[in-house]
């Protein structure tokens, strides 16, 4: 119950931006467009949504329903799920720019795996660049009673991952959750490093990583679309985790991302606690935008 | 760096250049384009509206002469207005002994890294004696992160179990040890968390830092206005740092921040290395955004590295060989990724084809490997390299004979290019082969 309230609270903040839309006698579409822009929906998609909503509205749907349905139609069908099987070790690789919240999300995902799949996950600290990133993950590991595989700072992240996979196999841990260093998508050499990590995983366990999750900060602007594009070019991104949704009325760019690159949002982060990660629900998300 | 924005705005201006004179309809069209461009760059809606209004007013009263193209005039107006909006750069106040900087911001904006960067900046450039204080007791290992960074830059570090005692202890320590600058890294907090904002307020009331610096991510979107406003209303901010400016984010947050709070920007975070911090300069930022280059930044970067004069390549092209190539290449690489350096050169972002010609780091390494696999004699006199030597070089460097050939060919072309009479005296290019091998 508590968690549900938190999600609702997080989304209400988004909702407030739109609240003045409801009950408008004559619809001011320009004002609606502006409201979309204010939650970082890119202007091209915002215009498309409005076009779609207009059609629905003209066929006698109330404006808030029309908008809600229009938004929903821009998000992929079905409930997003993380791939997990007991047949072989699954690897979930987390990537993203600096400060998006990868390390915290790793811990949250580990907790989720324990609860959802009754699994015994392993954490791999492949962020060997940021000072004390390894320690940060280790502290989470201790709190959750999960092993963390690590090496020294500045060691080769691909080597750490290799160790992690070996350890995961011998200790029979599954899924293996890999935290990587934050990197701006414009740094080619760092993107190459990620590709290498991906190759190492694929060589060691066929078909893995089954999940390559891009962690995006909800307060980021349209640059997030760029991030998704470049990360998706280097690695086939399987899903997005939208973090810090508790802090802001944002994240509207995911509409652009799902439309352009067909990458689903899988989870949202709604707080600093280890339980503050919930599966993305598009109806709830759309409802959150339109009261 | 920011090339996407540059390309778009240049494209916009190209369109204007076709006009002889602006009609009302054209003004509206320009304003609409600029508005979209700004919004796509994450500049706050309110700031965008304001600045477009200014531009519209100025366009209306403009009279074009035959000498000036409307495109140039419009581009200058946009430039001026953007620079105006950013305002003059701020500075850190050192009037108190010790002076205190309290670093605040939301999670993941880069407070801890920036704290260390600022400490290093003042220690190395202005001979200050800073003390770094870890007051983020919330994020696991945040204090340890700052401690590790402090060791890297050889600056003392202090922390305690809660932010209040850390602050208090640091002030005492500074007085007894003669530190003149205390930089306090606080926990990241969202702008809607009233409890944590309250804590910040108490810290400010109790210790009255003479500098309260907001750290803001340049990738931030429309939310930047709310963040800036919430922190501004909680404590008296004295300045801001815009982080992660080395990506391709347009830094719209800088404009939002200025528009909402009026506080000045002091620094720009431009990379992952501890020395990657620059003094904020609105002209430079706007010029870089609209693709007019950043020569000053380039010069600063060059002067930061110590170039060994004795190894300076000879002026006469005839004396150049692979030894000098290798040396120049290494010195240039010390300054940072080549692409980043080249993007600072005015007009460079306009030349799309040039981008494909820049070797990336990996290729540079391959080129270097080929050169290193040559004997000293071969580097001095590349003309002695025959088929058998080429085979050896290719093997030794892990490349192919084709790649060795290509490098040799480029070297020849490069020499020829410099010999050609068309080049003016004194014209200098980076002296290493440009091109993919």
Over the stretch B391-403, which tens digit does the pLDDT of each residue have? Answer: 999 999 888 888 8
Do B111 and B259 belong together in one domain?
yes
Angle (CA) A100-A104-A106 rounded to 5° is 100
Task: Inform me whether the pLDDT recorded for B434 exceeds 60.
Answer: no
Do B69 and B156 belong together in one domain?
no
Q: Which residues of A touch B246 (CB under 8 A)?
A: 184, 186
Q: Which residues of B touch A272 (CB under 8 A)?
A: 107, 138
A229/A58: higher pLDDT: A229
Do B185 and B332 belong together in one domain?
no
Domain total for chain B? 3
Boundary (domain end) residue, out of B39, B63, B86:
B86
Distance CA B143, CA B163 (A): 11
Whole-number pLDDT of residue B433: 41
Question: Mean per-residue pLDDT for B28-40?
Answer: 83
Secondary structure (DSSP) of chain A: -HHHHHHHHHHHHHHHHHGGGTT-SS--HHHHHHHHHHTT--HHHHHHHHHHHHHHHHTT--HHHHHHHHHHHTS-SS-------SSS--EEEEE-STTS-HHHHHHHHHHHHHHHH--B-EEEEE--SSTTHHHHHHHHHHHHT--EE---TTS-HHHHHHHHHHHHHHTT-BSEEEEE----TT-HHHHHHHHHHHHHHHHHSTT--SEEEEEEETTB-THHHHHHHHHHHHS---EEEEE-TTS-S--THHHHHHHHH---EEEEE-SSSTT-EEE--HHHHHHHH--
Do B250 and B365 belong together in one domain?
no
Asked whether residue B430 is assigned to any structural domain, the reply reads: no
Do B153 and B70 belong together in one domain?
no
Question: Mean per-residue pLDDT for B35-46?
Answer: 85
For B3, name the nearest residue in chain A, comparing CA atoms only. A186
Question: What is the domain-level CATH number for residue B137?
Answer: 3.40.50.300
B378: which residues sit within 8 A by CB, 6+ positions away? B322, B384, B385, B389, B393
What are the tens digits of pLDDT across the range B142-180? 999 999 999 999 999 999 999 999 999 999 999 999 999
CB spacing of A133 vs B145 below 8 angstroms: yes
Asked whether residue B427 is assigned to any structural domain, the reply reads: no
Do B60 and B122 belong together in one domain?
no
Do B135 and B24 belong together in one domain?
no
Do B220 and B323 belong together in one domain?
no
Asked whether residue B168 is assigned to any structural domain, the reply reads: yes
Asked whether residue B9 is assigned to any structural domain, the reply reads: yes
A15/A262: higher pLDDT: A262
Asked whether residue B327 is assigned to any structural domain, the reply reads: yes
Contact (CB, 8 A) for B191 and B106? yes
Whole-number pLDDT of residue B310: 47
Asked whether residue B323 is assigned to any structural domain, the reply reads: yes
Nearest chain A Cα distance for residue B77, angstroms: 24
What angle separates helix B24-40 from helix B45-60, to the nearest 10 degrees? Answer: 160
Asked whether residue B247 is assigned to any structural domain, the reply reads: yes
What angle separates helix B111-125 from helix B142-152, to the nearest 10 degrees? Answer: 20
Boundary (domain end) residue, out of B28, B51, B86:
B86
Do B123 and B79 belong together in one domain?
no
Where does the pLDDT of residue B436 fall: very low under 50, low under 70, confident under 90, or very high at 90 and above?
A: very low
Asked whether residue B92 is assigned to any structural domain, the reply reads: no
Distance CA B8, CA B37 (A): 8
CB spacing of B219 vs A220 below 8 angstroms: yes
Do B146 and B249 belong together in one domain?
yes
Do B161 and B12 belong together in one domain?
no
Q: Which of B107, B144, B252 sits opposite A132 (nearest CB)?
A: B144
> What interface predicted TM-score (ipTM) does this complex get?
0.85
Do B335 and B384 belong together in one domain?
yes
Boundary (domain end) residue, out of B292, B319, B337:
B292
Q: Which residue range is the domain that position B375 belongs to?
A: 309-419
């Amino acid at each position: 119950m508590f968690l549900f309230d938190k999600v609702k609270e997080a989304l209400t903040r988004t909702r407030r931006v739109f609240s003045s839309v409801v009950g408008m006698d004559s619809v001011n579409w320009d004002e609606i467009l502006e409201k979309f822009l204010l939650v970082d929906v890119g202007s091209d998609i915002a215009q498309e949504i409005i076009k779609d909503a207009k059609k629905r509205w003209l066929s006698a749907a109330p404006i808030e329903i029309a908008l809600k349905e229009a938004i929903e139609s821009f998000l992929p069908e079905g409930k997003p799920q993380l791939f997990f099987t007991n047949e072989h070790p699954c690897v979930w690789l987390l990537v993203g720019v600096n400060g998006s919240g990868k390390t915290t999300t790793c811990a949250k995902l580990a907790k989720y795996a324990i609860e959802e799949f009754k699994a015994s996950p392993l954490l791999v600290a492949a962020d060997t660049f940021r000072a004390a990133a390894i320690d940060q993950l280790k502290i989470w590991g201790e709190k959750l009673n999960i092993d963390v595989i690590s090496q020294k700072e500045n060691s080769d992240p691909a080597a750490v991952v290799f160790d992690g996979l070996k350890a995961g196999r011998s200790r029979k841990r599954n899924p293996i959750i890999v935290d990587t260093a934050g990197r701006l998508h414009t740094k080619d050499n760092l993107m190459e490093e990620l590709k290498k990590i991906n190759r190492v995983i694929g060589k060691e366990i066929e078909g893995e990583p089954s999940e390559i999750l891009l962690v995006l900060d909800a307060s980021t602007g349209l640059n997030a679309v760029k991030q998704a594009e470049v990360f998706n070019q280097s690695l086939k991104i399987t899903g997005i985790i939208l973090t810090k949704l508790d802090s802001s009325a944002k994240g509207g760019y995911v509409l652009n991302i799902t439309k352009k690159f067909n990458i689903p949002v899988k989870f949202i982060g709604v707080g600093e606690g280890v339980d503050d990660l919930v599966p993305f629900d598009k109806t709830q998300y759309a409802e959150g935008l339109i009261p | 760096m920011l090339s996407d924005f540059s390309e778009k705005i240049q494209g916009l201006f190209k369109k204007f250049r076709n006009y002889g004179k602006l009609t009302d309809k054209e003004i509206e069209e320009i304003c609409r384009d600029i508005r979209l461009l700004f919004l796509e760059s994450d500049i706050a809606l309110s700031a965008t509206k304001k600045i477009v209004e200014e531009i519209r007013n100025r366009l209306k009263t403009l009279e074009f002469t035959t000498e000036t193209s409307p495109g140039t005039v419009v581009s200058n107006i946009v430039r001026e207005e953007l620079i105006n909006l950013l305002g003059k750069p701020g500075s850190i106040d050192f009037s108190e002994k010790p002076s205190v900087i309290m670093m605040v911001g939301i999670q993941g904006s880069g407070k801890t890294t920036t704290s260390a960067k600022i400490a290093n900046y003042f220690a190395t450039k202005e001979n200050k004696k800073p003390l770094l204080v870890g007051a983020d007791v919330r994020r696991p290992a945040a204090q340890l992160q700052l401690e590790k960074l402090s060791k890297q830059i050889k600056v003392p570090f202090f922390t305690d179990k809660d932010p209040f005692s850390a602050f208090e202890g640091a002030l005492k320590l500074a007085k007894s040890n003669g530190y003149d600058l205390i930089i306090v890294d606080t926990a990241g907090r969202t702008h809607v968390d009233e409890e944590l904002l309250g804590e910040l307020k108490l810290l400010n009331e109790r210790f009255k830092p003479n500098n309260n610096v907001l750290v803001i991510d340049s990738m931030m979107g429309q939310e930047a206005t709310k963040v800036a406003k919430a922190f501004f209303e909680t404590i008296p901010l004295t300045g801001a740092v815009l982080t992660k400016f080395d990506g391709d984010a347009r830094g719209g947050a800088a404009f939002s921040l200025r528009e909402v709070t009026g506080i000045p920007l002091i620094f720009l975070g431009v990379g992952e290395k501890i020395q990657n911090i620059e003094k904020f300069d609105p002209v430079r930022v706007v010029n870089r955004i609209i693709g007019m280059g950043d020569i000053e930044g380039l010069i600063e970067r060059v002067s930061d590295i110590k170039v060994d004069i004795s190894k300076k390549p000879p002026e006469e092209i005839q004396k150049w060989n692979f030894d000098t190539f290798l040396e120049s290449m290494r010195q240039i690489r010390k300054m940072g990724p080549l692409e980043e350096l080249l993007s600072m050169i005015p007009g460079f972002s306009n030349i799309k084809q040039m981008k494909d010609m820049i070797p990336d780091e990996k290729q540079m390494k391959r080129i270097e490997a080929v050169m290193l696999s040559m004997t000293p004699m071969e580097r001095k006199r590349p003309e002695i390299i025959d088929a058998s030597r080429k085979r050896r070089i290719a093997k030794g460097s892990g490349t192919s004979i084709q790649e060795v050939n290509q490098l040799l060919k480029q070297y020849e072309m490069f020499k020829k290019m410099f010999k050609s009479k068309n080049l003016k005296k004194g014209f200098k290019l980076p002296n290493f082969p440009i091109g993919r091998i």
